[in-house]
Structure 1
Amino acid sequence: MEKYEALWAYQVEDMKADAIALAIKRSPTRQKLEKARDFILDRQKQYKQIEEDIGAMVDRKDIIAQAIVRSKEQLDNLQKRFEAAPPTTSDEVKSLLAEVSRCRDTIRQYEVEISRIVKETDANEKLQRSVRLDAANAKKSFDQLKADYEEESKSKKEDLENQRAKAKEVMDQVDPALLEEYETIKKHISPPVARLIHGQCSGCNTSLPSAILSKIKGGTLVECETCGRMIIP
């Protein structure tokens, strides 16, 4: 039974260390620090997306500008054709005017789209500046919070290191096989070891059948079928 007592003693010290680590993790300053970090990452992502959007708009603007040039060239060619060989029938006149009208409509549509792109680009550039400023201000806040957290947690981290060292001393007395089982179960539930109290698993208060009770009292290692903890006398 001594090996189980060593395991229990180790769990006591290990849980104390985990409690200190959890207190450090749940520090309000740390939570603010993590929130500031997430805000900065979000703004960086937003900034990159806006940058990509602006790039796509600039590319589209260039394509439209080239299309306008071609449409104007087509319109000039129509005028030259008219001057070189004026239409002689009403149908020829109508056909030429229809081509001219289509070219002008196309140019107007392109110009409207370019105007829209320019406005959206200006709005995105304004938003980009705002996002960059938000990120810069958040970075200042993050740096201050980080300094505050490091100062605040310094003594707690020392306490944690001392407690981990104390737990390590006790751990060295634990049977390696039991320790391996302990660490495996701890990944799923903590604490991983429970006492047998009044015929029940103290971890989940499940009553155990007499056959299992006999095994535990006889020194056999048993895992609770309900919570998965190791049960020791």
Structure 2
Amino acid sequence: MGSVNGAEALEALFRLQEKDLELDQLRREAEELPQELVEAQAQYEELEERLAGLLERQAELQKEYTRHSLDIQDLTEKERQAEEEQKKAQSAREQTQYENRIQQLKDRIRELKELSKPLEDSILDLEEAIEALKEELSALKPRLEALQEANRVRVAELTLVIEEKVAERNRMAEAIPPGLLKEYEAIRRARRGTGVVRMLRQGSAFRCEGCNVVLPTHVAQKVVQGQLVRCPSCGRLLWKG
């Protein structure tokens, strides 16, 4: 490739890269969620997590409360049976034995009721907290859905713009030699989006715009002549600008 053609190809490649960088930015914008939406989603997820925790705790307490209630029912029935049997006692000794048994049952029933009371209070407190969280979620949901819809519209609009830019980019790429284009794309993937950079003059020295390394004189001369040269440090294609 002659020096003029090489210089023209590099200039076209540099313009193509500007389009590629513009597309990169647009794609990032499409992928990134607006901060307001991020915050609303985080708030909603936090409320859901708290609600799940409260519901789990409520289920645990309810299970324990139910177990106590069933035990109380069982002991109450045993107490009733003991009282019935006491009436049939034939001796004072049997009467005393039944009285002791009945008293043990009463003591255990009272103990279980004492244990059940704070459980019941805690369950009621949890019910209030759960209802409050559900109300918060219900209040936040319309706003979250509105933000999600606005973002969907934003992304759809950006997608149309990106499609137009991609068509422009493809037309620009047609003017670049396929081998050079393939080399540029490979470098761009490896070098954070830039495959071709300008050579900058600084006093009597020349630097690579990509990595800021001072270029050897023979490399700088080739770039000035329009030859296809890569930076010996970062590997990007150099354009004299």
Does the alignment reach a TM-score above 0.5? yes
Secondary structure in structure 1 of the residue aligned to 2:93: coil
- Whether contact under 8 Å (2:82, 2:98) holds in the other structure is no
Residue type of the partner of 2:197?
A: A
- Whether contact under 8 Å (2:27, 2:162) holds in the other structure is yes
- Whether contact under 8 Å (2:185, 2:195) holds in the other structure is no
Gaps of 5+ in 1: none
Displacement of 1:135: 3.4
In the alignment of these two chains, the number of paired residues is: 222
- Whether contact under 8 Å (1:194, 1:232) holds in the other structure is yes
Secondary structure in structure 2 of the residue aligned to 1:224: coil
Secondary structure in structure 2 of the residue aligned to 1:207: coil
- Whether contact under 8 Å (1:193, 1:231) holds in the other structure is yes
Identity among equivalent positions (%) equals: 11
- Structure 2 counterpart of 1:165: 167
Q: Which of 108, 112, 119 is 1:103 aligned to?
A: 108
Q: Which of 71, 78, 82 is 1:67 aligned to?
A: 71
Distance in 2, matches of 1:136 and 1:97, equals 57
Displacement of 1:130: 1.5
Q: Which of 31, 36, 40 is 2:35 aligned to?
A: 31
Distance in 1, matches of 2:67 and 2:101, equals 27
Q: Which of 196, 205, 210 is 2:212 aligned to?
A: 205
Matched, 1:9 2:12: no
Gaps of 5+ in 2: 1-5
**Change in CA separation of 1:21 and 1:93 when aligned onto 2, cut-off 3 Å:** closer
Higher Rg: 2
**Change in CA separation of 1:87 and 1:161 when aligned onto 2, cut-off 3 Å:** farther
Deviations for 1:5-52, whole angstroms, at most 9, x for unmatched residues? 44322102212333455566779xx43344334444444444444444
- Give the alignment of 1:12-91 within 5 angstroms: 12-21=18-27, 30-80=34-84, 82-85=86-89, 88=93
**Change in CA separation of 1:118 and 1:38 when aligned onto 2, cut-off 3 Å:** closer
Q: TM-score with structure 1 length normalisation?
A: 0.67
**Change in CA separation of 1:79 and 1:114 when aligned onto 2, cut-off 3 Å:** farther
RMSD over aligned CA atoms reads: 4.2
- Whether contact under 8 Å (1:39, 1:138) holds in the other structure is no
